[in-house]
A and B are shown apart, each in its own frame.
Chain A
Amino acid sequence: MERSEVFERVVKNAADVFAADAGTISEETLIVEDLEADSLARVEFLMALEDEFDLVIEEEVASQATTIGKVTDLVVENLGANA
């Protein structure tokens, strides 16, 4: 899967989970600060991504990905590892 497609799908899920306008979400968007994610919402976002990409991502690893761009990289990396 192309990174651009992964990014698009990550953005769509972020918009859904955080009730945000997808058009305002970029690579640099900060998950906690910009999307106002609390600890529960971060888990919800992670679960949404796991469903979206049929992956298992450990929370400890996911918590290091602080921006939408970094989350996209994490998903790409996991997709590669699982391929």
Chain B
Amino acid sequence: MSPLAELDRPNSQRVVITGLGAVTPAGLSVKETWETVLTGASMAAPITAWDASEEPVNFACEVKGFDPLAVMDRAEARRTDRVTQLGVAAAAEAMSDAGALSADPERIGTLVSTGIGGQSTVYDGAITCENKGTRRVSPFFVPATMPNAISAAIAMVHGLKGPSLCICTACAAGTHSIGEAARMIRSGSADVMLAGGAEATVHKLPMGAFWRMGALSTRVDDPSSACRPFDADRDGFVMGEGAAVVVLERLDLAVERGANIYAEVRGYGLTSDAYHITSPSEDGEGIRRCMRHAVSDAQLQPADIVHVNAHGTSTPLNDLIEGNAVAKELGEQAIVTSTKGVTGHCIGAAGAIEAVLATLTLRDNVIPPTANLANLDPKIPISIVSGQPMELNGDAVISNSLGFGGHNASLCLTRY
């Protein structure tokens, strides 16, 4: 591959990734997650969080062994939903990884979002309200369930007083958060942003809803083979949970302080299908235009994109539409993987987890395999990694997310 065209953008408006944090079904840290993802082994297994043996879908990709008390005290842990606890833990790792930041805390912001938010607290709160009356509704119900609780908690833990937001775009929330946070730095609203997503949807309420929608795999006889993105025999996604946070930093400041720079967030695209509340538009026009914007924003050509960490949920429709969109928009040099085969679909955290994995792909020059890909769907004309990891041959990658509501988001990450 020829080197990428030089970016016409001042260093003060360029955004690099200088810290990574992740708590996922594949591991309680970035290192552990990456090592597991490279094995291509699915984390789907019977649910342990509650007795789900009678549920129509009794398996998921859970974050196992997570202890919120590692990042907050008992009182705080009781007053926050698991979604916030996961987000705070991922942010703590990312901040530690980034090292000492030089930016003024008033110029450091937080944009760690969720697709759905604190579902178990909503469920428990409704039951308490019904059975014991409004007098017993916890005063912490709202702060525990509001989707912006994650950004707020992270800001408080680290004393970050810059912009703080939450973007609720379902399964695209993590990608939108990183893209919009990068824009904030580019536009001068902040010097550093903690950005990403968190989700805690391994719970009977959202799982029942996704099942009734027909979105979940029902392969109860063999959970570990249930999530099979782009495979001809895929039948739905596997519920995941987790969080990932990246530290985005102004390039000139990162260089000045001698930060470890993983990659550059060079381009970002976002579009709407304006088509259906849950289905992607059949012609893939929305996600195609989204990738086109990301490539254009990165001042690159489609042929420069050598890898796509796909949304690749393992649902019949998503993979068909996204796969064809990638083939048409980017071309066959864009080698695809879906790491959801390992992690399951972590909803609002998914895009953030996948951005972390795409960043590590650039760092280590290796594309993880898509779990359970036995027979690529013949209707999807893409090159895809299966079985073993594949060497990355180039400097620019894309991470896609498609959210319910027709919200599309694409990040273009490049080697710095």
B54: chain A residues within 8 A (beta carbon): none
0/1 interface trace, chain B 130-150, chain A, CB 8 Å (1 if under): 000001101110010000000
Within the complex, which residue of B73, B75, B135, B136 is in contact with A41, where a contact is CB–CB below 8 Å?
Answer: B75
Determine the distance from Cα of A59 to Cα of B115 in the docked complex, in whole angstroms.
36
> Is B74's beta carbon under 8 Å from chain A?
yes
Q: Assess whether A40 is in contact with B75, with CB atoms less than 8 Å apart.
A: no
> Is A32's beta carbon under 8 Å from chain B?
no
B76: chain A residues within 8 A (beta carbon): 19
Within the complex, which residue of B135, B136, B139 is in contact with A40, where a contact is CB–CB below 8 Å?
Answer: B139
A16: chain B residues within 8 A (beta carbon): 74
Q: Assess whether A40 is in contact with B140, with CB atoms less than 8 Å apart.
A: yes
A55 to chain B, nearest CB (A): 12
B30 to chain A, nearest CB (A): 29
> Is A44's beta carbon under 8 Å from chain B?
yes
B143: chain A residues within 8 A (beta carbon): 40
Give A20-72 interface residues, CB cut-off 8 Å to B.
Answer: 39-41, 43-44, 47, 50-51, 56
Determine the distance from Cα of A51 to Cα of B143 in the docked complex, in whole angstroms.
22
Give B76's nearest chain A residue, CB to CB: A19
Determine the distance from Cα of A50 to Cα of B75 in the docked complex, in whole angstroms.
19
Q: Assess whether B75 is in contact with A17, with CB atoms less than 8 Å apart.
A: yes
- What does DSSP make chain B's interface, helix, strand, loop or mixed? helix
Q: Assess whether B139 is in contact with A19, with CB atoms less than 8 Å apart.
A: no
A17: chain B residues within 8 A (beta carbon): 75
Within the complex, which residue of B73, B135, B136, B138 is in contact with A19, where a contact is CB–CB below 8 Å?
Answer: B73
A43: chain B residues within 8 A (beta carbon): 139
Q: Which of A43, A44, A50, A51 has the most CB of B within 10 A?
A: A44
Give A38's nearest chain B residue, CB to CB: B139
Determine the distance from Cα of A26 to Cα of B73 in the docked complex, in whole angstroms.
22
Q: Assess whether A19 is in contact with B140, with CB atoms less than 8 Å apart.
A: no
Determine the distance from Cα of A40 to Cα of B141 in the docked complex, in whole angstroms.
10
Determine the distance from Cα of A18 to Cα of B135 in the docked complex, in whole angstroms.
20
Give B75's nearest chain A residue, CB to CB: A19
Give B62-118 interface residues, CB cut-off 8 Å to A.
Answer: 73-76, 79
B104 to chain A, nearest CB (A): 27
0/1 interface trace, chain B 143-176, chain A, CB 8 Å (1 if under): 1000000000000000000000000000000000
Give B313-363 interface residues, CB cut-off 8 Å to A.
Answer: none
- Using CB atoms and an 8 Å cutoff, list the residues of chain B in contact with chain A: 73-76, 79, 135-136, 138-140, 143
- Using CB atoms and an 8 Å cutoff, list the residues of chain A in contact with chain B: 16-19, 39-41, 43-44, 47, 50-51, 56
Known: A16-B74, A51-B136. 18 other contacts (CB 8 A): A18-B75, A19-B73, A19-B74, A19-B75, A19-B76, A39-B139, A40-B79, A40-B139, A40-B143, A41-B75, A43-B139, A44-B79, A44-B139, A44-B140, A47-B136, A47-B138, A47-B139, A56-B135
